Amino acid sequence: MSANPTHMTLAEARDALAGKKISSVELTQSHLDAIARHNPALNAYVHHTPEIALAQAKASDEKRARGEAVGLLEGIPIGVKDLFCTKGVNSQAASKILTGFKPEYESTVTSNLFAHGAVMLGKTNMDEFAMGSANITSVYGPCVNPWRRSGEPEVKLVPGGSSGGSSAAVAARLGFMATGTDTGGSIRQPAAFTGIVGIKPTYGRCSRWGVVAFASSLDQAGPMTRTVRDAAISLQAMAGHDPKDSTSAIQSVPDFEAVLANGVKGLKIGIPKEYRIDGMSAEIAAAWDKGAAILKAAGAEIVPVSLPHTAYALPTYYIIAPAEASSNLARYDGVRFGLRVSEDGDSLNDMYEKTRAAGFGAEVKRRILIGTYVLSAGYYDAYYKKAQRVRALIAQDFTQAFTQCDVILTPTAPSDAFVIGENQDDPVAMYMNDVFTIPASLAGLPGLALPIGLSKAGLPLGLQLIGRAFDEETVFRAAEAIERGAGFNAAPEGY
Amino acid sequence: MGTPYRVKGNTGDWEVVIGLEVHAQITSESKLFSGAAVGFGAETNQNVSFVDAGMPGMLPVINEKCIEQAVRTGLGLGAQINLTSVFDRKNYFYADLPQGYQISQFLDPIVGKGELIIDLAGGEQRTIGVTRLHLEQDAGKSLHEHSPKFTFIDLNRSGVALMEIVSEPDMRSPEEAGAYLKKLRTIVQYLGTCDGDMDKGNLRCDANISVRKPGAELGTRCEIKNVNSVKFVMKAIEFEAQRQVEIIEAGGVIEQETRLFDATTGETRTMRSKENAHDYRYFPDPDLLPLIFTQEYVDAIRATLPELPDQKRARYVADLGLSPYDAGVLVAEKATTEYFERLSATHDPKLVSNWMTGELFGRLNKLGVDIEQSPISSEQLGGLLALIEDNTISGKIAKTVFEQMCETGKPAKQIVADEGLVQVTDTGAIDAAIDAVMAENADKLAEYRSGKDKLFGFFVGQVMKATGGKANPAMLNDLLKKKLS
């Protein structure tokens, strides 16, 4: 056991708790202390729930002392993205329009985690309504990546987005796990930028009930952890069919941790040629090759595959996601909860306009406008309907590719973490961050990001594994092999 | 065919073309996409779940009972049932629309084309096409009467399941529109899929109206929203057709718009014009998968359908020997049919029919109530009919007894006993009365015997009078004939 309890992995902490080497209260307190020390600089946690954490930890210790059956995450301190509704705790989706909103209900995913014994340290920062790739659109201000470029300790980098608070918290050891949500890459890209593991499971694997919606047909919750094993354990605790979510799949949840031992011998790893995009940096390309080499060395076969509609994924996504968002965000109207801005004599429309103008940030407004436009009469066929057809073709590409391979290996993001403020006025450049993650999102497939090495600047670089629908097991097996082969053990300094 | 309905204009006759969109609230325990209760008269905001209030992160889950009710209604309209249908979002902002969109069905509704037979005056029937039936959720209600400054919102109705039943523009007169609405109401009541109570707002109607010279191209239509009685729908159509004719004849054009009917003035007025029309931005609801079910599911529902009004009417004519007109009257309301069927199970159906369409309906009309508030229950009327059938009283006396039943609420048997109205079936007593009448009217007797047959009626009347109206008419006839010959 490491001297600092926060430096353990989730699996190590679980074993330490089971072996009575540490109590959950001690583990939790060490995290609360770390948060107190580091969070002011990182802004990773935006709502702190130490009372809840200590109460849950105490209850967990007592349960263990009574010898009762324990959950997969029994006594494990975690962070929860602000997008999840947590009963009686601020759940604001990092938006001004939900100022003061404390739901009377608990999201299914957090309910599952708590049922498995997890301890909630607080709510983590994110891009407003999960729209962004840098965690700079939050009403709480930007979250800061705990990593620094070598030789540039003053330059603050983004932790990725939208689950930037979760990625920063896990990378800085302010939680063994944090929940993320991924619509076009919001778990995978921040995982890559902070050198951690993040998996967006198959659409339908985790319930969306109680998760503030961005784009319903794409949103999916998943865990962000420091190891593949921790991700496997966490996903098993989060997932499962939920009758309250009509799109939740009726699928049993496998023992993801158990399959890690199976190795990759005989697996076919697809390398899609279309992901080698123009201007890809040499170090990203090299990291990709390294991942393939590791898998090959572990007994897998590398096969070239083609995903011919890849180039259309980004524009397709930026029609479908804003379209759904424009509709999903219509409920924030100042009538029933959150912010209301109105003056005497205002009409209903005045109130809507003032409330929404003051409550939504620029990026959210941009996407609402795009979404409203692409759905409007006369444009629906040209944009939304066509995008849905392209989406089907993209999904077909994967189906085709998976006749030749078992899992697909790609880079996660086109670059390492960038400086806060960079690209901020260039939305299209910002959207390019998700170029590798979006196709799997459109196809509803599981995608896992994990670190493979460091860039020349000393920052983590990530790879992505994409699997067949509901075949997270193969994704985890391949990820475990890469993790083992890469031996990535770098950590941000000072945490 | 009766004379077609025409609006008289300065330039001649105009034809009115009418299509109706009826919103029927589904009879169900809970709402279309949430487990919240559905109930009329609940406290404000009592029946509201987090889903109905549009809270963040809440998701709709389809209520299977509502699907079954929609399929049932579709089958009752002889309509095509679509095994795959899609829920769409209809996006618009309003304070009583918590999600900022209504979940509805747009391109792919659950029920396609069907038809409905309407019953017109004089027993005439016409077939009106049904374009579609789709499911949608209701909005909440804005309350303006509590404050001069604020609007209050009641979300009890938010999310309640509605069936929107859209007709073809097949109706040509207010009477036909009224008949369509009545027939539709009867069918959903028979099916048990909607209470059909327009007063409680669980059946509401939008009317699309245009006018044209008979046989010409369709004119521009106006939609009159949310009319809540059959009578008002008919009045609104009458007014609107006249208004459109006047505008066209004055050289104007009809603007396509949405109008409201004001029940106090009997007029329609602009609600919103086409320029202000909403762009609803429909798209498939990503929170709900397409609704897919099997033919077996549909067939299982079909197997539970009750006998519907048209079938019932045909059976009454064929099996019970009722006239098509009377049969039509008896099946037009579910409660009426139930009243009839309770009685006709144990009494002569024709006798029951005559009494219901005659005395009972006359009385209800006079009281201005429907059969559910009838002062005479089917059981009570049955008591009276039994006395007629076992010859205790004559049909004529029964009418007097019926009046007294209505006044006093006493059972027929008691009234007959108290008033001594028991029919005389003792042949001796009738014979004696006949003899007396014959003795008193020797002159008339002579006339009759010399061939003046018409005097038979006179003798019947006299004997009846002598027996205080209590002589059994059939026995009296028989005995009299014998004596006179």
Within the 77-136 window of chain B, which residues sit less than 8 Å (CB to CB) from chain A?
Answer: 89, 91, 93-95, 98-101
Residue of chain B nearest A384, judged by CA positions:
B283
Q: Please list, in sequence order, all residues whose beta carbon lies within 8 angstroms of the beta carbon of residue A58, skipping any fewer than 6 positions away.
A: A24, A25
CA distances from A101 to A46, A95, A132 (A): 14, 10, 22
Q: At what angle do helices A362-375 and A313-328 cross, to 10 degrees?
A: 100
Q: Please list, in sequence order, all residues whose beta carbon lies within 8 angstroms of the beta carbon of residue A365, skipping any fewer than 6 positions away.
A: none
Half-sphere exposure of B320 (CA within 13 A, CB side): 27
Q: Please list, in sequence order, all residues whose beta carbon lies within 8 angstroms of the beta carbon of residue B388, skipping any fewer than 6 positions away.
A: B351, B394, B395, B398
User: Which pair of structure tokens corresponds to residue A78?
Assistant: 């975690």
Q: Which amino acid, one-letter code, is at A324?
A: E
User: Which pair of structure tokens corresponds to residue B106?
Assistant: 């747009």
B286 CB neighbours in chain A (<8 A) are: 215-217, 247, 324
Dihedral of CA A127/A131/A137/A143: which sign? positive
A77-81/A177-182 β-pairing: parallel
Q: Please list, in sequence order, all residues whose beta carbon lies within 8 angstroms of the beta carbon of residue B428, skipping any fewer than 6 positions away.
A: none
In this prediction, residue A451 carries a pLDDT of 98
The span from the CA of B7 to the CA of A49, in Å, is 74
The span from the CA of B347 to the CA of B350, in Å, is 9
Residue of chain A nearest B35, judged by CA positions:
A244
Best mutation site among B49, B58, B62 for testing chain A: the one with the most A CBs within 10 Å? Answer: B58
Best mutation site among A91, A101, A246, A336 for testing chain B: the one with the most B CBs within 10 Å? Answer: A246
Give yes or no for a contact between A251 and A205, defined as CB atoms under 8 angstroms apart: yes
| Closest by Cα among B83, B52, B59 to B70 | B83
Please give the helix or strand (H or E) that residue A322 lies within, else none.
Answer: helix A313-328
Half-sphere exposure of B5 (CA within 13 A, CB side): 17
Question: How many Cβ contacts (< 8 angstroms) between chains A and B?
Answer: 100
The span from the CA of A15 to the CA of A70, in Å, is 12
Cross-chain residue pair B95–A348, CB shorter than 8 Å: yes
Half-sphere exposure of B288 (CA within 13 A, CB side): 23
Q: What is the 3-state secondary structure (H, E, C) of chain B?
A: CCCCCCEEECCEEEEEEEEEEEEEECCCCECCCCCCECCCCCCCCCCCCCCCCCCCCCCCCCCHHHHHHHHHHHHHCCCCECCEECCEEEECCCCCCCCCEEEECCCCCCECCEEEEEECHHHCEEEEEEEEEEEEECCCEEECCCCCCCCEEECCCCCCEEEEEEECCCECCHHHHHHHHHHHHHHHHHHCCCCCCCCCCCEEEEEEEEEECCCCCCCCCEEEEEECCHHHHHHHHHHHHHHHHHHHHCCCCCCCEEEEEECCCCEEEEEEEHHHCCCCCCEECCCCCCEECCHHHHHHHHCCCCCCHHHHHHHHHHHHCCCHHHHHHHHCCHHHHHHHHHHHCCCCHHHHHHHHHHHHHHHHHHHCCCHHHCCCCHHHHHHHHHHHHCCCCCHHHHHHHHHHHHHHCCCHHHHHHHHCCCCECCHHHHHHHHHHHHHHCHHHHHHHHCCCHHHHHHHHHHHHHHCCCCECHHHHHHHHHHHHC
In this prediction, residue B480 carries a pLDDT of 84
Query: Which tens digit of pLDDT belongs to each residue from A204-258?
Result: 999 999 999 999 999 999 999 999 999 999 999 999 999 999 999 999 999 999 9
Q: Is the pLDDT of residue A70 over 90?
A: yes
The span from the CA of B361 to the CA of A417, in Å, is 85
- Whether A335 has its CB under 8 Å from any CB of chain B: the answer is yes
Cross-chain residue pair B54–A352, CB shorter than 8 Å: no
Cβ neighbours of B80 (radius 10 Å): 13
Least confident residue range of A100-104, A380-384, A428-432, B152-156: A428-432
Cβ neighbours of A51 (radius 10 Å): 8
Dihedral of CA A131/A136/A142/A143: which sign? positive
In this prediction, residue A422 carries a pLDDT of 86
Q: Which residues of A are catalytic?
A: 81, 162, 186
Q: Please list, in sequence order, all residues whose beta carbon lies within 8 angstroms of the beta carbon of residue B14, skipping any fewer than 6 positions away.
A: B6, B7, B8, B211, B212, B213, B214, B241, B245
Dihedral of CA B63/B66/B70/B75: which sign? positive
Cross-chain residue pair B287–A107, CB shorter than 8 Å: no
Q: Please list, in sequence order, all residues whose beta carbon lies within 8 angstroms of the beta carbon of residue A249, skipping any fewer than 6 positions away.
A: A202, A204, A205, A241, A470
Rounded to a whole number of angstroms, the distance from the CA of B278 to the nearest CA of chain A is 10
| Closest by Cα among A241, A236, A238, A266 to A251 | A241
| Closest by Cα among B192, B196, B173 to B183 | B196
The span from the CA of A215 to the CA of B331, in Å, is 51
Query: Which tens digit of pLDDT belongs to each residue from A371-395?
Result: 999 999 999 999 999 999 999 999 9
ipTM over 0.90: yes
B62 CB neighbours in chain A (<8 A) are: 246
Residue of chain B nearest A210, judged by CA positions:
B57
Of B57, B101, B282, the CB nearest to A107: B57
Q: Is the pLDDT of residue A288 over 50?
A: yes
Within the 358-377 window of chain A, which residues sit less than 8 Å (CB to CB) from chain B?
Answer: 372, 375-377
Cβ neighbours of B475 (radius 10 Å): 17
B88-91, strands of its sheet edge to edge: B101-104, B88-91, B283-284
Cross-chain residue pair B89–A244, CB shorter than 8 Å: no
Local confidence band at A1 (pLDDT 50, 70, 90 cut-offs): very low
A333 CB neighbours in chain B (<8 A) are: 93, 95, 100
- Whether A382 has its CB under 8 Å from any CB of chain B: the answer is no
Rounded to a whole number of angstroms, the distance from the CA of B30 to the nearest CA of chain A is 15
Half-sphere exposure of B431 (CA within 13 A, CB side): 5
- Whether A36 has its CB under 8 Å from any CB of chain B: the answer is no
Instruction: Please state, rounded to an integer, the average pLDDT across all residues of chain A.
Output: 96
A352 CB neighbours in chain B (<8 A) are: 93
Residue length of chain B: 485
A119-124/A77-81 β-pairing: parallel
Taking only the tens of pLDDT, chain B with its 485 residues reads 568 999 999 999 999 999 999 999 999 999 999 989 997 788 999 999 999 999 999 999 999 999 999 999 999 999 999 999 999 999 999 999 999 999 999 999 999 999 999 988 877 889 999 999 999 999 999 999 888 888 899 999 999 999 999 999 999 999 999 999 999 999 999 999 999 999 888 999 999 999 999 989 999 999 999 999 999 999 999 999 999 999 999 999 999 999 999 989 999 998 877 666 689 999 999 999 999 999 999 999 999 999 999 999 999 999 999 999 999 999 998 999 999 999 999 999 999 999 999 999 999 999 999 899 999 999 999 999 999 998 888 888 899 899 999 999 899 988 888 877 777 777 788 888 888 888 888 888 888 888 888 888 888 888 888 887 777 777 888 888 888 77
Q: At what angle do helices B309-320 and B174-191 cross, to 10 degrees?
A: 90
Give yes or no for a contact between A44 and A79, defined as CB atoms under 8 angstroms apart: yes
Residue of chain A nearest B287, judged by CA positions:
A216
Rounded to a whole number of angstroms, the distance from the CA of B91 to the nearest CA of chain A is 7
Cβ neighbours of A423 (radius 10 Å): 18
Q: Is the pLDDT of residue A68 over 90?
A: yes
Least confident residue range of A415-429, A448-462, A472-486, B411-425: B411-425
- Whether A109 has its CB under 8 Å from any CB of chain B: the answer is no
pTM: 0.91
The span from the CA of A125 to the CA of A172, in Å, is 14
| Closest by Cα among B419, B405, B402 to B468 | B419
CA distances from B472 to A73, A75, B417, B419, B485 (A): 93, 96, 17, 17, 20
Cross-chain residue pair A337–B55, CB shorter than 8 Å: yes
Best mutation site among B281, B288, B291 for testing chain A: the one with the most A CBs within 10 Å? Answer: B281
- Whether A331 has its CB under 8 Å from any CB of chain B: the answer is yes
Of A103, A333, A372, the CB nearest to B281: A372
Q: Is the pLDDT of residue A317 over 90?
A: yes
Q: Please list, in sequence order, all residues whose beta carbon lies within 8 angstroms of the beta carbon of residue B275, skipping any fewer than 6 positions away.
A: none
In this prediction, residue B472 carries a pLDDT of 79
| Structure letter (DSSP) for residue A275 | G
Give yes or no for a contact between A144 and A42, defined as CB atoms under 8 angstroms apart: yes
The span from the CA of A187 to the CA of A191, in Å, is 6
| Closest by Cα among B324, B306, B308 to B316 | B324
A324 CB neighbours in chain B (<8 A) are: 286
Of A243, A246, A333, the CB nearest to B60: A246
CA distances from B23 to A258, B90, B212 (A): 55, 16, 27
User: Which pair of structure tokens corresponds to residue B177?
Assistant: 């529109």
In this prediction, residue B456 carries a pLDDT of 87
B257-262/B222-227 β-pairing: parallel
User: Which pair of structure tokens corresponds to residue A117?
Assistant: 């014994």
Cross-chain residue pair B91–A330, CB shorter than 8 Å: yes
The span from the CA of A39 to the CA of A45, in Å, is 7
Within the 188-207 window of chain A, which residues sit less than 8 Å (CB to CB) from chain B?
Answer: none
Beta bridge partners, A149, equal: A152
In this prediction, residue B275 carries a pLDDT of 64
B88 CB neighbours in chain A (<8 A) are: none
| Closest by Cα among A458, A324, A439, A344 to A384 | A324
Q: Please list, in sequence order, all residues whose beta carbon lies within 8 angstroms of the beta carbon of residue B439, skipping any fewer than 6 positions away.
A: none
- Whether B143 has its CB under 8 Å from any CB of chain A: the answer is no
Within the 71-90 window of chain A, which residues sit less than 8 Å (CB to CB) from chain B?
Answer: 84-85
Rounded to a whole number of angstroms, the distance from the CA of B203 to the nearest CA of chain A is 28
A370 CB neighbours in chain B (<8 A) are: none
| Closest by Cα among B125, B66, B116, B16 to B291 | B66
Residue of chain A nearest B151, judged by CA positions:
A348
